[in-house]
Chain A
Amino acid sequence: MSRSASALRALTASFAALGLLTSVALAQQQLAIKPGAKLGLGRAALPEEIKAWDTDVRPDGVGLPDGKGTPKLGDAIFQERCSTCHGEFGEGVGRYPVLAGGLGSLKADRPDKTVGSYWPDATTLFDYIKRAMPYGNARSLTDDEIYAVAAYILSMNDVIKDENFELNKNTLAKIKMPNAAGFYEDDRDTTEKHFWNKSPCMSNCRDEPKVIGRAISVDVTPEGKNGPAVD
């Protein structure tokens, strides 16, 4: 008899000596799950918890909280909290986003995509400012302040014309943005159908190519071939 077989017999004997309790417990535990049953993991979310996180706003206004603000009030808040990056009139400082202007420029060689010229929904302003602005100190504005800043941004874009217009959950949801109709569903499968090609050309596919542009002439690639110092 091999050494391992005799060791196994000894082990079995010692399990038997431990008695009935052990073997009953082993029989009940199985490496299996109850089919079709839920996992039973996680716990119910409390209303206070949902309220703390569920601040999102939809284009139909669902999710907008109570509160109000006007462009006039928003101007003062914007100058203090937003203009360092976005400029006094939403013109953008450096490469920070331009918020106003650009109306009618979307077909231009250099389009100016701003809240007024491009954004389809005014509600997005509230959702975004509430979660992400001011940059570096997010979630620090009250709902009244957010309504006011949103009102000021809309007034800079002439979407709101009266500096005392009250923006609130009812009036914000009704605002129609200039470019609301400017978007359509992804149509690549139809408008680019010819990119599906069973027999792409393999030889003599085109005339002799000529270089018409060079990245090194543009000269905007970061300098140095060795990368930054890394420790």
Chain B
Amino acid sequence: MSKQAPKDVLNRRGFLGAAGLLAAGAALPIGKAKAEAAAQPDPAITEVHDFNKLLGDGVDRRPYGMPSKYEKHVVRRDVGWLTASAESSVNFTPLHELDGIITPSGLCFERHHSGVAEINPADHRLMINGLVEKPLVFTMEDIKRMPRVNRIYFLECAANSGMEWRGAQLNGCQFTHGMVHNVMYTGVPLKVLLDEAGLKPNVKWLMLEGADAAGLNRSLPIDKALNDVLIAFAMNGEALRPEQGYPLRAVIPGWQGNMWVKWLRRIEAGDMPWQTREETSKYTDLMPDGRARKHTFVMDAKSVVTNPSPQAPLKHKGRNVLSGFAWSGRGTIKRVDVSIDGGRNWGTARLDGPILDKSLTRFYVDFDWNGQEMMIQSRAIDDTGYVQPSKPELRKIRGVNSIYHNNGIQTWLVRANGETENVEIS
């Protein structure tokens, strides 16, 4: 549950004082701190606009409301060269345009293996078979008669930031970190469904399978399945979006997104992992010795500053808001530290909004910018004591070919003109 945000120790003086980069030498110039009168009256104020003169659209003009036409740039985007075809591909959440902790459903990044399955819920079935007392078939109507819960969880693709293992590649947090989203799910605990079918005592693994043209299947350890896994039919208060698995998906809190099988149609109980293509040839992490880690389900603690970032440069000297997300697959975010000198000195950011188990957590630092160059970093610490490592620390163990689980600290270089870029530092 949410708790009181820790006290903001990064007040203006503390933040700048902790930064050797800025403290050295020159006295800190103070930005435009006080409001000055405009030279000319502002036409935004003095002129009458159509919108305060003429009637606007009536109530039924937009039966399903969409964002303002002035927000058309706030969209998911893909990176064409990453994949061979749009139907087996990924796009990215525009993290730098978001606030709070909830990702709007239409901005949640997409990852499909054979495109979006468009399924009439009246035709959807969920089967439970394998090592159960009684193999069962459920309709969506059946599932909506079961006891349900509401939970907010992040979903991160294991390959998020995977393009950055060898160094800075993509210039924008949407592309470096945008394979994550955070929504409220409504669904039935998987345990409820499994109890209905009756698990046999020797069940150790489940296999979850989608109804899409990839029939995507993953093995799931039974302990996790009985702990906190949900079978969800709603996100952010309405039915799942087609691209997020409508009408039914798995929710595997804190674990890699590939396991959250969309368009879920079957769960088989068994006594060993299935070794599916997605858990052997993919989603295994190749180490420098040529061997690979498998079953690396948990997403390590991670954070990113979303503002400023390459797509959201600093525009003003003086007062500014630095902002970002932190998350951990092991629990709640305890603290986020921010550096403006590439990790030499750190101050602690202010967490705001709900701080929930396995959910994105929002952090802020309010600061006055004097126009000097900054190397901005953030560092997440979760309630198990895990501290988000630097990229060199990660590479020391994992090399550069593991593709997945890159949770290293991101560096943004903010230039004197406010332009911000993705850099790799020594």
- Contact between chains at B135 and A50 (CB < 8 Å): yes
- Contact between chains at A218 and B168 (CB < 8 Å): yes
Cα distance A202–B347 in the bound complex, in angstroms: 7
A205-B344 contact, Cβ under 8 Å, with A39-B146, A138-B215, A196-B386: yes
Which of B84, B388, B423 makes the CB contact (< 8 A) with A214?
B423
**Which residues from chain A contact B321 at a C-beta distance below 8 Å?**
none
A42-B142 contact, Cβ under 8 Å, with A49-B137, A202-B346: yes
- Contact between chains at B344 and A206 (CB < 8 Å): yes
**Which residues from chain B contact A50 at a C-beta distance below 8 Å?**
127, 129, 135
Per the 8 Å Cβ criterion, residues 121-156 of A in contact with B are 121, 123-124, 127-128, 131-132, 135-136, 138-139
- Contact between chains at A215 and B422 (CB < 8 Å): yes
A227 sits at the interface (CB 8 A): yes
A195-B421 contact, Cβ under 8 Å, with A111-B401, A138-B215, A203-B345: no
Cα distance A169–B77 in the bound complex, in angstroms: 44
Interface string of B76-89 (1 = CB under 8 A from A): 01111111110110
A220 sits at the interface (CB 8 A): yes
B315 sits at the interface (CB 8 A): no
A225 sits at the interface (CB 8 A): yes
- Contact between chains at B213 and A56 (CB < 8 Å): no
B289 sits at the interface (CB 8 A): yes
Interface string of A201-212 (1 = CB under 8 A from B): 111111111111
Cα distance A121–B280 in the bound complex, in angstroms: 8
Cα distance A120–B265 in the bound complex, in angstroms: 27
Cα distance A56–B138 in the bound complex, in angstroms: 20
A215-B169 contact, Cβ under 8 Å, with A53-B265, A138-B213: yes
**Which residues from chain B contact A9 at a C-beta distance below 8 Å?**
none
B291 sits at the interface (CB 8 A): yes
- Contact between chains at A198 and B345 (CB < 8 Å): no
**Which residues from chain B contact A66 at a C-beta distance below 8 Å?**
none
- Contact between chains at B384 and A41 (CB < 8 Å): no
A121-B275 contact, Cβ under 8 Å, with A196-B384, A215-B169: yes
A186 sits at the interface (CB 8 A): yes
**Which residues from chain B contact A192 at a C-beta distance below 8 Å?**
389, 397
**Which residues from chain A contact B297 at a C-beta distance below 8 Å?**
186
- Contact between chains at A123 and B275 (CB < 8 Å): yes
User: Would you give the shortest CB distance from B74 to chain A, in whole angstroms?
Assistant: 8
B387 sits at the interface (CB 8 A): yes
Interface string of B99-143 (1 = CB under 8 A from A): 000000000000001100000000000011110001111100011
Which of A131, A185, A227 makes the CB contact (< 8 A) with B75?
A227
Which of B77, B145, B347 makes the CB contact (< 8 A) with A228?
B77
A187 sits at the interface (CB 8 A): yes
Cα distance A172–B220 in the bound complex, in angstroms: 25
B239 sits at the interface (CB 8 A): no
A54 sits at the interface (CB 8 A): yes
B18 sits at the interface (CB 8 A): yes
Cα distance A95–B84 in the bound complex, in angstroms: 5
- Contact between chains at A44 and B136 (CB < 8 Å): yes
User: Would you give the shortest CB distance from B85 to chain A, in whole angstroms?
Assistant: 8
A222 sits at the interface (CB 8 A): yes
- Contact between chains at B424 and A211 (CB < 8 Å): yes
Which of A44, A49, A182, A202 makes the CB contact (< 8 A) with B134?
A44
Which of B136, B276, B387, B401 makes the CB contact (< 8 A) with A195?
B387
**Which residues from chain B contact A58 at a C-beta distance below 8 Å?**
270, 272, 274-275
- Contact between chains at A185 and B214 (CB < 8 Å): no
Closest-by-CB residue of A relative to B172 is: A221
**Which residues from chain B contact A216 at a C-beta distance below 8 Å?**
171, 421-422
- Contact between chains at A120 and B280 (CB < 8 Å): yes
- Contact between chains at B169 and A220 (CB < 8 Å): yes
B293 sits at the interface (CB 8 A): yes
Closest-by-CB residue of B relative to A55 is: B215
- Contact between chains at B342 and A201 (CB < 8 Å): no
Closest-by-CB residue of A relative to B143 is: A41
B317 sits at the interface (CB 8 A): no
**Which residues from chain B contact A38 at a C-beta distance below 8 Å?**
195-196
Which of A41, A207, A215 makes the CB contact (< 8 A) with B145?
A41
A42-B73 contact, Cβ under 8 Å, with A124-B280, A186-B294, A204-B345: no
User: Would you give the shortest CB distance from A61 to chain B, in whole angstroms?
Assistant: 12
Which of B196, B296, B381 makes the CB contact (< 8 A) with A39?
B196
* Residues of chain A having any CB pair with chain B under 8 Å: 38-39, 41-45, 49-50, 53-54, 56-60, 85, 94-96, 106-107, 111, 113, 115, 118-121, 123-124, 127-128, 131-132, 135-136, 138-139, 182-188, 191-192, 195-198, 200-216, 218, 220-222, 225-228, 230
